[in-house]
Structure 1
Amino acid sequence: MATTIDGAPAPVIEAPRSPRRRPTSSKARTNFELYAWLFMRVSGILLVFLVLGHLFIMNILDGGVQRIGFGFVAGRWASPFWRTWDLLMLVLAELHGTNGLRTVINDYAERPQTRFYLKMLLYVSTSLVVTLGALVIFTFDPNIS
């Protein structure tokens, strides 16, 4: 082992490309962060096509936003294709944003208790928005009396 001038052992500097040693713990390791990272990439690509397709169809092919009203939505949601499109856009956008905000909370919330409560608030609000949005899409009835 190398020593410094005063006889103390020299610090060991690992090679730049050596594998990183992770601390071992009794907890089982998961790949959640890897899957979250992959989800962000896949959902981002899908959202680009869904949202740009939505904007193109609504604003160019269907005559612009001045045409959008209750009757327009009722006619559009008569088709399962458009209900599925809108539901997929809602769920992917909400989960994509939730995952991004979860990462921000993990990065900036210093206290574990603060991090826990912020993430619980995030998950509850996400569940509420997705549930209410899906409820509207699935139970929409144009024949309101």
Structure 2
Amino acid sequence: MATPTIESPRSGRVSPGYSRSSASRGNFEMIAWLFMRLSGALLVVLIFVHLYVNLVTGDGISAIDFGFVAGKWADPLWQIWDLTMLWLAMLHGTNGIRVIINDYAEKNSTRMWLKGVLYTSTVVIVVLGTLVIFTFDPCPVIDGVAHVADYCSAT
């Protein structure tokens, strides 16, 4: 009786070919791996403190509105806190998707286009999010008319 042979996974498919040398890829991948662990641990702390401050110490979810965010972002600590969450979450997620693209995109051209879209969207979201956090004005003056809400000081 003949022993059945089991083919290697993806044996019929073309394995992705990387043009990088093994030494440079190893160092980059090690740093990326370490970044994922450290950023993940830091994100857990940042997110749980964020949720605790927003939902537990105040009046819960019903108290979160435009005025709440405006008051929170008036303090530079919370601007930096939210900026750190944004940057770490985007870089952590981008690195994870990069690994998935490397694992499953078989053709170099497909891998290049997917990574191009990934990196472009990451840059756009990080830049727009950073601009929103630091240029946020809850009491804007539009065409010389102050749109004053109850939480803005009348000037």
Deviations 1:25-82 (A, max 9, x none): 9958321100000000000000000001111111100221111111111111110000
Give the length in aligned residue pairs: 121
The equivalent residue for 2:23 is: 29
Structure 2 residue corresponding to 1:56, chosen from 52, 55, 70: 52
Residue 38 of structure 1 is aligned with which of 34, 37, 46?
Answer: 34
Q: Which among 115, 124, 128 is matched to residue 128 of structure 1? A: 124
Q: Which ranges in structure 2 are unaligned for 5 or more consecutive residues?
A: 1-18, 142-155
> For 1:32 and 1:51, how far apart are their aligned partners in 2?
27
Q: Distance in 2 between matches of 1:26 and 1:109?
A: 16
Measure, in 2, the Cα distance between the counterparts of 1:107 and 1:53: 34
User: CA RMSD for the aligned pairs?
Assistant: 1.6
Measure, in 1, the Cα distance between the counterparts of 2:49 and 2:36.
Answer: 19
For 2:137, the equivalent position in structure 1 comes to: 141
State percent identity of aligned pairs: 57
Change (3 A) 1:94 1:26: closer
From 48, 51, 64, give the equivalent of 1:68.
64
Unmatched segments (≥5 aa) in structure 1: 1-24
